[in-house]
Amino acid sequence: MTYGVALRLDHGLVFMSDTRTNAGVDNISTYRKTFTWCDPGKSVVTLLCAGNLATTQAVVSLIDERMKAPSDRSPSILGLPSMFQVARTVGNTLKEVISEHAEAGPVGASPFGATLIVGGQVKGSKPRLFLIYPEGNFIEAGSDTPFFQIGETKYGRPILVRAYDRQMSLAAAAKLLIVSFDSTIKANLSVGPPLDLTYYPADSLQPVRQSRIRIEDEYYRTVSEGWGDALRSALDSLPDYPTEI
Amino acid sequence: MTYGVALRLDHGLVFMSDTRTNAGVDNISTYRKTFTWCDPGKSVVTLLCAGNLATTQAVVSLIDERMKAPSDRSPSILGLPSMFQVARTVGNTLKEVISEHAEAGPVGASPFGATLIVGGQVKGSKPRLFLIYPEGNFIEAGSDTPFFQIGETKYGRPILVRAYDRQMSLAAAAKLLIVSFDSTIKANLSVGPPLDLTYYPADSLQPVRQSRIRIEDEYYRTVSEGWGDALRSALDSLPDYPTEI
């Protein structure tokens, strides 16, 4: 499993992904699931991956290789005129990779599917965020649905629904994501640290800023422990059930 | 889907279940999923159901009919010497019902399975709580795992993990459960109000107390709206992510 979230905010885009991959509970590894590309001043793209690791690695490698061979006729992820075209290119690449393995040959016990989040900005338009399905089609985040989750989405969703605010700072959004991830990590062994945080201030068109958050980091521990106390205080602040028990 | 929770506390047992059943999104109904039996002064049993409605209704009817015909050789759920025996009887009944439909005849699109929570007290021992699987076997809540959830368990779990305290009052526990259910109802259409709250003060050996909580009740609205504010305050009380963003 995996857990990945991307928020669309007035101040920019914030992404977080865990790094655990597993095939069963006895075969776990650590892999980065966030990838970014940038052509400074022109376009910035960030990709979060959930699903079959072979599939998502192939998608990322195809995007990379196409960039490295400009003479290749396939479109590069940079240099496209809009984020819609970026999402379409990534979606088509994902569909191709899955089809290649699914259509013929041995059938794996695990499906070849993957779900991606693509976000970024192309000069001349606003930052945009897309959720890409294994079929290659995709949806865009709007003002009613301003964030996307992939992978093990349920445990960490209530806090996002309650506390997301499009006007929050990127630093507050990073904190919110850590809380959402901490709830998930405490409940599901297949989501695990360290966490990759990526943030893109709107209109900067410069490389995203990234940091890796470890569970033993002081800030993580402060938030994780503080959140337990804060939640209990929050619950205490509400009236008990009124029937005399 | 369904959501049901039972907490084992020092002060007794608290149960909550939703009332929505659905076959697809276009065929929804309201059914009670909490059932209780009591032989005052001797034993009190509460049952929560999740899963195939025909299966769980059959289990409850079999328990009822066995009670109504004392000459029936099958054991009654009341009059058994321990909660372990109660759980075994309910587990065997569940297994029988599922086997009856699964072994022969038409195969339904939906499986016949169900998962149950049984809790209560038999005179002479402490209150006990069991989670019963479709196979008829079961596990008991202990001090490390003092509560059980059935059905759509994920959205409402983080707050239970964080805020459960075995010494909390039954009134505070009812509030905690409402918060857990509210998070789930906001996220999953297949879990819906009204909610059935059942509480059993330890050692009373009297009929459980029950109330039905509607989403338009003032208390529910106070908790639901207050919880959103309280969560945002809780998040604000933690330090933002330290890197300058």
Give the pLDDT band of residue B110 (cuts 50, 70, 90): low
Ordered DSSP codes for B27-54: -EEE---EEEEEETTTEEEEEEEEE-HH
Q: What is the DSSP letter of B67?
A: H
Collapsed DSSP state (helix, strand, coil) of residue A196: strand
**Does the pLDDT value for residue B5 go beyond 80?**
yes
Q: Which two tokens stand for residue B188?
A: 């999953």
Whole-angstrom distance, CA of residue A72 vs CA of residue B81: 78
The answer, for B21 touching chain A at a CB cutoff of 8 Å, is no
Shortest alpha-carbon distance between residue A75 and chain B (Å):
32
The answer, for B245 touching chain A at a CB cutoff of 8 Å, is yes
- Residues within 8 A of B (CB atoms), A 187-206 only: 187, 197, 199, 201
- Residues on chain B touching A200 (C-beta within 8 angstroms): none
Shortest alpha-carbon distance between residue A172 and chain B (Å):
5
Chain B residue with Cα closest to A204: B245
- What is chain A's pLDDT, residue by residue, as a tens digit (245 residues)? 899 999 999 999 999 999 999 888 888 899 999 999 999 999 999 999 999 999 999 999 999 887 766 565 555 789 899 999 999 999 999 999 998 877 766 666 667 899 999 999 999 999 999 999 999 999 999 999 999 999 999 999 999 999 999 999 999 999 999 999 999 999 999 999 999 999 999 999 999 999 999 999 999 999 999 999 999 999 999 999 987 65
Whole-angstrom distance, CA of residue A85 vs CA of residue A91: 10
* Separation in Å, CA A161 to CA A42, A155, A180, B232: 33, 12, 10, 11
- Contact state of A174 with B245 under an 8 Å Cβ cutoff: yes
Domain A3-235 has CATH 3.30.1240.10: no
- What tens digit of pLDDT does each residue of B189-205 get? 999 999 999 999 999 99
Cβ(B174)–Cβ(A241) under 8 Å?
A: yes
- Contact state of A241 with B157 under an 8 Å Cβ cutoff: no
Whole-angstrom distance, CA of residue B197 vs CA of residue B48: 11
Cβ(A5)–Cβ(A180) under 8 Å?
A: yes
Q: Which fold has domain B3-236?
A: Glutamine Phosphoribosylpyrophosphate, subunit 1, domain 1 (3.60.20)
- Contact state of A232 with B162 under an 8 Å Cβ cutoff: yes
For residue B237, give every residue at least 6 positions away whose Cβ sits within 8 Å of its Cβ, in sequence order, or none.
Answer: A226, A230
- Contact state of B245 with A199 under an 8 Å Cβ cutoff: yes
What ipTM was reported for this prediction?
0.87
Domain ranges of chain B: 3-236
- Please give the biggest Cα pair distance in chain A: 77
Cβ(B205)–Cβ(B44) under 8 Å?
A: yes
Q: Choose the closest CB to A174 out of B187, B232, B241.
A: B241
Residue with tokens 């959205």: B155
User: What pairs with residue A51 in β-bridges?
Assistant: A114
